[in-house]
Amino acid sequence: MTAITSTDLRRWQYAAINVLGTITDEASPDLSPINWRVATTAQLQGEAPSGTHAERLAAITEWAEYLGIDLAARPGGDGEVTYHGRTERTAKNGKNVTVSLYLRSWPDES
């Protein structure tokens, strides 16, 4: 088994940053901005910023449509619902990057 080096992690993070740049550059200016987390494991996670439940859900849903992601809604305790879905994109260095969207909310949030 080959050890993962810090060079590998930087290369994977660079791939994620490259994909983030591409998807945000190509996105419609009408898409609501969302928060992105960039991981050293070639992963991006988009989350809705603050706002009402309806605003946050609309933002994530719009991004899901743009990225071709099917969001799954998983109900939890106390009325909480977690929305999650993912897809993959290839960075210019050839690395596959997982792009996921995530929202945990309570429908009675204002």
Q: What is the pLDDT along the chain (110 residues), one digit of tens a residue?
A: 789 999 999 999 999 999 999 999 999 999 999 999 999 999 999 999 888 888 999 999 999 999 999 999 998 877 788 999 999 999 999 999 999 999 988 766 55
Q: In this structure, is residue 82 part of a structural domain?
A: yes
Q: In this structure, is residue 32 part of a structural domain?
A: yes
DSSP string, 20-40: HHHHHHHS-TTSPP-EEEE-T
- DSSP helix/strand/coil, 80: coil
Contacts of 10 (CB under 8 A, 6+ apart): 40
Q: In this structure, is residue 60 part of a structural domain?
A: yes
38: left (phi over 0), alpha (psi -120 to 50) or beta: beta
pLDDT of residue 108: 64
Domain count of the chain?
1
| Count of helix runs (H) and strand runs (E) in the chain | 2, 5
CB 39 within 8 A of CB 16: yes
pLDDT of residue 109: 55
Q: Which residues form the domain of 79? A: 6-105
- The C-alpha torsion from 72 through 64 and 70 to 40, rounded to 10°, is -80
